[in-house]
Amino acid sequence: MREVKQRLARHESPKAKNTPYAGASAHFLGNHSPFPPRRPCYPSRMAGPLLSFTDRGLYCAAGDFFIDPWRPVERALVTHGHSDHARWGHGAYLATEQALPVIRHRLGEIRAEGIAYGTARRIGDVEVSFHPAGHVPGSAQIRLEHKGEVWVVSGDYKLEADGLSEPFEPIRCHTFISECTFGLPLFRWAPQQEVANQIAEWWAANRAEGKTSILAAYGLGKAQRLMSMLPALGPILTHGAVEETTRILRDQGYAIPPTIRVTAGVDAKSHPGALVIAPPSALGTPWARRFAPSDEAFASGWMALRGIRRRRGYGTGFVISDHADWPALNTAIRETGASRVFVTHGYTAPFRRWLEEQGYEAGIVQTEFGGDEAEPSEVEAQE
């Protein structure tokens, strides 16, 4: 680990240099290239691009593996356990030791290996290492090095430390593949403590009125983050889907307060004034009605868009995301020192244009899925 860190520290800013293969970006994206080659593509001393975009996902030919592929492949490196990244059917999985228990739980019998953060591993001709992405517990950015060329695939990430996830570490690289789920200037998150206070006030007010507070949140990461950031105003009840992941993470040693799984007999009478944490799809269902009278809310970055909140009928929305907001995306990209950035998830077209205006060589990587924090309607459709 120290060895990797030292090398990273020595790694000079590639931004000052010319990109050694000016035409390679068009090649990287194949027919999907969003930009025509401006110059002829000269053969380079360097091998082709370290990652290529295929219909199964990001592929590294020098190491013969994929990163977060969405169709079955022989060997998959997986950034984290969300279903748009950790998919079923691969021959072998490599993920962080911290991400693996949830991935195994979700995918069942798989051939998988865990790797410690910051440990270098040689796969084929490529040196691979996983580094904290701060997105959810166990989440990683994946760093690839081949003949002095360094690429980093961010996976999903956020910069604010949430108290549970291993905090994001900037990794220097020549080419950075960044998510941009919230890649518009209007997305700016308040500090976590501020949102925690808002949610606590809402919970306390509901309690005072004899109501149950039902808070919808994604089951891996957001749900546990909410539990751990809120004051203990009363019992926390969980939907089965949330409880499973919570139990696994708690068993791993993540500091998550006690929760009670909602089973027969667990309702508003047995646990007055409780906070219930459930997946978004549980809102407004018979399952939720056992807690009447109740007040429902959704905790998501999308709650920043009033239109979505209204259209979906969420009375209360708390703006909190496990993805980087606009300033954080820009900070993260700057700190990599990369001269070339490919964006994926969310507002890719405007964000790519913005990066080009800032002087980056920029492109888009298309994925098959909208992401774990896609618009709420899409998320529910996937469940």
Residue ranges binding Zn ion (CB under 5 A):
82, 84, 156, 371-372
**Whole-number minimum distance, CB 258 to Zn ion, in Å?**
26
- For residue 60, give both structure tokens: 């590294």
Cβ nearer to Zn ion, comparing 149 with 373: 373
**Whole-number minimum distance, CB 70 to Zn ion, in Å?**
11
Report in angstroms the alpha-carbon separations of 59 from 70, 77, 330, 343. Answer: 11, 10, 26, 16
Euclidean distance between CA atoms 27 and 102, whole angstroms:
36
Cβ nearer to Zn ion, comparing 133 with 275: 133
Cβ nearer to Zn ion, comparing 134 with 363: 134
Cβ nearer to Zn ion, comparing 99 with 319: 99
**Whole-number minimum distance, CB 68 to Zn ion, in Å?**
8
Cβ nearer to Zn ion, comparing 63 with 221: 221
All residues at 6 or more sequence positions from 72 whose CB lies less than 8 Å from its CB, including other chains: 56, 87, 88, 89, 90, 91
Euclidean distance between CA atoms 298 and 6, whole angstroms:
43
Cβ nearer to Zn ion, comparing 267 with 325: 325
* Of 33, 41, 9, 107, nearest in space to 342 by CA: 33
**Whole-number minimum distance, CB 361 to Zn ion, in Å?**
24
**Whole-number minimum distance, CB 139 to Zn ion, in Å?**
7
Using DSSP, how many helices (H) and how many strands (E) does the chain show? 11, 19
- For residue 126, give both structure tokens: 């490529």
All residues at 6 or more sequence positions from 52 whose CB lies less than 8 Å from its CB, including other chains: 28, 30, 58, 59, 60, 61
What is the DSSP secondary-structure string of 224-242?
HHHHHHS---S-EEE-HHH
**Whole-number minimum distance, CB 371 to Zn ion, in Å?**
4
**Whole-number minimum distance, CB 85 to Zn ion, in Å?**
6
**Whole-number minimum distance, CB 372 to Zn ion, in Å?**
4
Cβ nearer to Zn ion, comparing 156 with 267: 156
Hey, which bits of 147-291 come out as E strands?
149-153, 175-180, 212-216, 236-238, 260-261, 275-278
- Residue 186 CA, distance from chain mean position: 20
Cβ nearer to Zn ion, comparing 154 with 206: 154
Cβ nearer to Zn ion, comparing 153 with 277: 153
Cβ nearer to Zn ion, comparing 96 with 339: 96
**Whole-number minimum distance, CB 19 to Zn ion, in Å?**
28
What is the DSSP secondary-structure string of 42-82?
---SS-S-S-EEETTEEEETTTTEEES-SS--SEEE-S-SS
Residues 89 and 75: beta-carbon distance below 8 Å: no
**Whole-number minimum distance, CB 71 to Zn ion, in Å?**
16
Residues 142 and 153: beta-carbon distance below 8 Å: yes
ω into 167 cis (within 30 of 0): no
3-state secondary structure of 131: strand
